[in-house]
Amino acid sequence: PLVSMKEMLETAKAEGYAVGQFNLNNLEFTQAILQAAQEENSPVILGVSEGAARYMGGFVTVVTIVEALMAEYEVTVPVAIHLDHGSSFEKCVEAIYAGFTSVMIDGSHHPLEENIAVTKKVVDVAHALGISVEAELGRIGGQEDDLIVDDAEAAYAIPAECDELIRATNVDCFAPALGSVHGPYKGEPNLGFDRMKEVSELTAVPLVLHGGTGIPTKDIQKAISLGTAKINVNTESQISSAKAVRETLANDAEMYDPRKYMGPAREAIKETVKGKMREFGSSQKA
Ligand code: G3H
Ligand code: ZN
């Protein structure tokens, strides 16, 4: 069923695993992620950035595709459709109106007071409708669609500010930027576990780790042990799907039927997602 993230993340945190947010890019991603979740018997969060929604035909189109596939595949695991890095109150409301069950309001580029104000506004509307909300503080480096944060701008969240935002807004989960990066890492990721521990001790809210691509398993496990219950992955599925397309087309210069090269891409995404579900510990937890 389509549900908000609230219950799945609270259960995950209590039981010591994380639910993956896997981002949608097109129909094949949607198919692959839903199939992976059902086959792994895992709860799943479908992440939809504003850019991906635009590409796929808008929020309503995304919800319609997800609902139709869930019926077709007879999906029984909990699925949340989540707006990833929502850029404004208006965008969050638009997504909720289209049928999203969860939204992120990313006010991390605003000063703290403004971030709190916009997050609170989104929470008031969302919670009245049973929709979960994620907020962010600090700035996650790298690039995802329209969101570009260079090295100089990337900033670690300050624990006392995190506590203040969470208390003032009543968000359901919270993403403190602690050195993770969107897209591939340059070298080994250097996550701020000391601060993650501090934030975790200040709040009961499940934490979110963005930039899940390329983080070593030991760091994933450490993050989970410090209260991380949601891990976002996009680039890794994109890389595996692009690799499958490249290899398939390189093997046959005469190939032109998209089903013949997008089919293997879909399989590659599915395998990547299943691997993450096992690594995050959400397999067999639906
Ligand atoms: O919000 C989405 C993510 O944080 C994805 O990060 O593309 O580095 O896996 P990634
Ligand atoms: Zn992100």
Task: Going residue by residue through the chain, which has 286 residues, state the pLDDT in tens, using 9 for 90 and above.
Answer: 999 999 999 999 999 999 999 999 999 999 999 999 999 999 999 999 999 999 999 999 999 999 999 999 999 999 999 999 999 999 999 999 999 999 999 999 999 999 999 999 999 999 999 999 999 999 898 988 888 888 877 789 999 999 999 999 999 999 999 999 999 998 989 999 999 999 999 999 999 999 999 999 999 999 999 999 999 999 999 999 999 999 999 999 999 999 999 999 999 999 999 999 999 999 999 9
Nearest CA to ligand 1 atom 6: 211
Q: 253 in a domain, yes or no?
A: no
The label of the residue with tokens 């624990």 reads 159
Per the structure, the complete domain to which residue 129 belongs is given by 6-234+272-280
Q: 220 in a domain, yes or no?
A: yes
84 CA distance to ligand 2 centroid (A)? 7
Nearest ligand for residue 185 CA: 1
3 state SS of 219: helix
Q: Supply the ipTM of this predicted assembly.
A: 0.99
Are 32 and 266 in contact by the 8 Å Cβ rule? The answer is yes
Q: Which residues form the pocket of ligand 1, taking CB atoms under 6 Å from any ligand atom?
A: 23, 47, 84-85, 144, 182-183, 210-213, 232-236
- Closest approach atom of ligand 1 to CA 85: 1
Q: 258 in a domain, yes or no?
A: no
For residues 65 and 72, what is the distance between their CA atoms, to the nearest angstrom?
Answer: 10
Are 108 and 138 in contact by the 8 Å Cβ rule? The answer is yes
Q: What is the CATH number of the domain that holds 87?
A: 3.20.20.70
Q: 239 in a domain, yes or no?
A: no
Are 179 and 191 in contact by the 8 Å Cβ rule? The answer is yes
For residues 50 and 150, what is the distance between their CA atoms, to the nearest angstrom?
Answer: 20
Q: 246 in a domain, yes or no?
A: no
For residues 72 and 69, what is the distance between their CA atoms, to the nearest angstrom?
Answer: 5
pLDDT per residue over 220-257, tens digit each? 999 999 999 999 999 999 999 999 999 999 999 999 99
Considering the entire predicted model, what is its pTM? Answer: 0.97
Q: How many domains does one find in the chain?
A: 1
Question: One-letter amino acid identity for 214?
Answer: G
Q: 172 in a domain, yes or no?
A: yes
181 CA distance to ligand 1 centroid (A)? 8
Q: 214 in a domain, yes or no?
A: yes
For residues 8 and 229, what is the distance between their CA atoms, to the nearest angstrom?
Answer: 9
Q: 243 in a domain, yes or no?
A: no
For residues 51 and 55, what is the distance between their CA atoms, to the nearest angstrom?
Answer: 6
Q: How far apart are the first and last CA of the chain?
A: 11
